[in-house]
Amino acid sequence: MSTPGTFTVNAQDGPARLGELHTAHGVVRTPAFMPVGTLGTVKSLCPQDLREAGSQIILGNTYHLYLRPGDELVARRGGLHKFMRWDGPILTDSGGFQVFSLSSLRKLTPDGVEFRSHLDGSKHFFSPEKVLDIQRNLGSDIMMVLDECVPYGADHAYTEKSLDLTHAWAKRSRENHEPGRNGQLLFGIVQGGFFKDLRERSAEAICSMGFEGHAIGGLSVGESTAEMYELMAHTAPLLPAEKPRYLMGVGKPLDILEGIANGIDMFDCVLPTRNARTGTLFTSQGQLNIKRAEFKEDDSPLDPQCSCYTCRTFSRAYLRHLFVAQELLSYRLNSIHNVHFFLELTRGAREAIAQGGFEAYHAHWRGVFGGGTE
Amino acid sequence: MSTPGTFTVNAQDGPARLGELHTAHGVVRTPAFMPVGTLGTVKSLCPQDLREAGSQIILGNTYHLYLRPGDELVARRGGLHKFMRWDGPILTDSGGFQVFSLSSLRKLTPDGVEFRSHLDGSKHFFSPEKVLDIQRNLGSDIMMVLDECVPYGADHAYTEKSLDLTHAWAKRSRENHEPGRNGQLLFGIVQGGFFKDLRERSAEAICSMGFEGHAIGGLSVGESTAEMYELMAHTAPLLPAEKPRYLMGVGKPLDILEGIANGIDMFDCVLPTRNARTGTLFTSQGQLNIKRAEFKEDDSPLDPQCSCYTCRTFSRAYLRHLFVAQELLSYRLNSIHNVHFFLELTRGAREAIAQGGFEAYHAHWRGVFGGGTE
């Protein structure tokens, strides 16, 4: 088995690339989509479901797991893999995004961020070192550094000042976690809001610190698709080609393909599972909401081109009935399908890149999802 | 394949008996527990889960399916088996129990019962013939006749008068559905409240009508365990030995074993799935609630003697975490276990009867669940 962190690019099709990232729990073929397992479970799914849907790697949320059941408890159980019985790779975020989006009464200091739990209002403190300790307790294969997530609309001055903090924290993170330690990789995060000069400065700073991979943070925070694509296209090529590139928290199917077209290798998003719970399903023919009356007597599978358990087994009429009746099974069957769809989308992208046909593949999906993603 | 309705008793151990009931969708080995699939799904479980847990036959609720998605819609889908993708036997109740327990503004006439939907207040009418039509639309293997479910505490006079209606409806039901029609069996229901003379009279009337099986209705409606056991012991031997006996809506593990000890062959209850959703789990060591703090760091399986997916895969600590975090996966994993437990309990009873050891088997479980069932 290769050293964790080894990343090889095996094929290239324009900026889009086909790669392999080695981790302590196996190889991730990229471009890869990571289903989000917030609290030690990808909502409504068990490890068997995830494997069957084609998951290679999943994401765990440091903020949530720190609060519940607690990272030290997870460490005493042998780590997150053992606790949730997922033996493939796990990436954990730094918790920063949740601190800035979920918790209240934040106090930012050079040393870290004080915040109150969204669950019970209790006070907590995250420093760059603390979130690495948490991620070590969780035993994740890929750890993320703590950063400040600047809200959408922040001005140049604020964003610039924030970068200093983010870069200082990144430096402390790398110092706290030397390469190769315990087989856990550490990824840096490029910020800079919606200012190209700041993105450039951040990429230069972050990419000089020797991380095993680089992420683009701070996108999909309220901006238009055009803005997101512009920033993505500007930032992705600034990240070194020999390391994996990860676009955090993005996104819709076309956003992911746009990322791949720009040379991004990894993605995560709650969309497949969150939309499953509202009945919004992604198919080879576009998006549909299963609660619509037109599906009441529709005996066809949700997506005739899909090979997931839901599509192989049940009709739209049955899925609509379950959703309307708010049956628990509805959320599981919808999630199985949506997660499978996102995994298939990226699997198809890998195949297309290998055959030099990514542009056509991208164009095909642009046709399906109507060109825009709003 | 034998004619649906064929029932053979292959072994006897005191009144407890080991049998086989043939239906259009396969053989049910008795004593059998039937998981309840109210709305075309045993809550949170898919057909694969049910098979893996050892389900032979499941129950569907006529009242609920009539209201949502509608029995005619189900018929147009090819029936309930095809709609929900369960190819084993299905028993449907008559809807009577739900009309009397869930809906409001009931009006009882000799012809049937008018009621309002618990969902939207809309008016509906069930007659003995109507509920058979619904069950024909659903395509169930075993249909139940409409009866009046007398509330607990009803006096002798009321209960006696109600019996006349119940018996008249049973007669009309049999006339409406001749034996063998369409491979669908029809079971009669013995009522009579908590009066032994009325139970005797009801058994005599119902069992003379030529049903393919006989049920005891009106138990588990608020009475004490002692009362239930006394009535059950009095009524069960009144039902002909050559037909299957079904104790409706019962019950806890010891209630089921008590029924088996009295020669009952079939049981259904929402307990395993309902309790799964409140965290109450049945194990070889008794009942436990998974939310209790003592399980926080408990790495052992929920039930070390259980072979279900939940117990084979996850720890009590993980199951507690999922339950406390109200994760959807919690309900599924708990349901898989509880349903498996009830199915194993009856499978074990079949084995014990075959070996002439049912009394010891019953005594063992009395020890586990503390003798009482309250």
Q: Which pLDDT score, from 0 to 100, does residue B371 have?
A: 60
Q: Which pLDDT score, from 0 to 100, does residue B102 have?
A: 85
Q: Is B69 on the interface with A (CB under 8 A)?
A: yes
Share of chain A above pLDDT 90, in %: 95
pLDDT in tens, B283-332: 999 999 999 999 999 999 999 999 999 999 999 999 999 999 999 999 99
Which residue in chain B has the smallest CA separation from A316? Answer: B83
pLDDT class for A374, splitting at 50, 70, 90? very low
Average confidence score pLDDT of chain A: 96
The total number of residues written for chain B in this structure: 374
Average confidence score pLDDT of chain B: 96
Mutation for testing the A interface, residue in B320, B328, B335 having most A CBs under 10 Å:
B328
The token pair that represents B111 in the structure block:
């012809």
The CA distance from B226 to B30, in Å, is 25
pLDDT class for A1, splitting at 50, 70, 90? low
User: Which residue has tokens 């119902």?
Assistant: B206
Q: Is A291 on the interface with B (CB under 8 A)?
A: no
3 state SS of B27: strand
3 state SS of A297: coil
Told to judge if A93 belongs to the known catalytic residues of this protein, a careful annotator would answer yes
The token pair that represents A162 in the structure block:
């924030």
Q: Which of residues 306-325 of B touch A (CB under 8 A)?
A: 309, 313-315, 317-318, 320-322, 324-325
pTM above 0.95, yes or no: yes
CATH 3.20.20.105 maps onto chain B at 61-269
Measured torsion, CA atoms of residues B324, B327, B329, B335, in degrees rounded to the nearest 10: 50
On whether the CB atoms of residues A163 and A192 are closer than 8 A, the answer is yes
Between strands B58-60 and A7-13, the pairing is unpaired
Q: List phi, psi (to 5°) of B38.
A: -40, -60
**Degrees to nearest 5, angle at CA A330 with A329 and A335:** 100
ipTM: 0.96
CATH 3.20.20.105 maps onto chain A at 7-30+61-269
Report the residue from B318, B331, B333 with minimal CB separation from A83.
Answer: B318
Closest to A136 (Cα-Cα) out of A97, A101, A90: A90
Class of domain A7-30+61-269: alpha beta
Minimal Cα–Cα distance from B38 to chain A, Å? 10
Superfamily (CATH H level) for B61-269: Queuine tRNA-ribosyltransferase-like (3.20.20.105)
Minimal Cα–Cα distance from A42 to chain B, Å? 9
The CA distance from B63 to B70, in Å, is 9
Query: Which chain A residues touch B72 with a CB distance below 8 Å?
Result: none
The CA distance from A29 to A42, in Å, is 20
Residue of B13, B71, B265, B268 marked active site: B268
The CA distance from B170 to B147, in Å, is 7
Q: Which of residues 32-61 of B touch A (CB under 8 A)?
A: 39-41, 43-48
Minimal Cα–Cα distance from A257 to chain B, Å? 30
Q: Which pLDDT score, from 0 to 100, does residue B373 have?
A: 43
10-residue block means of pLDDT along chain B (374 residues)? 92 98 98 97 97 97 97 98 98 93 85 94 96 98 96 95 97 97 97 97 98 97 96 98 98 97 98 97 97 98 98 98 98 98 98 98 96 48
Which residue in chain A has the smallest CA separation from B329? Answer: A44
Which residue in chain A has the smallest CA separation from B299? Answer: A77
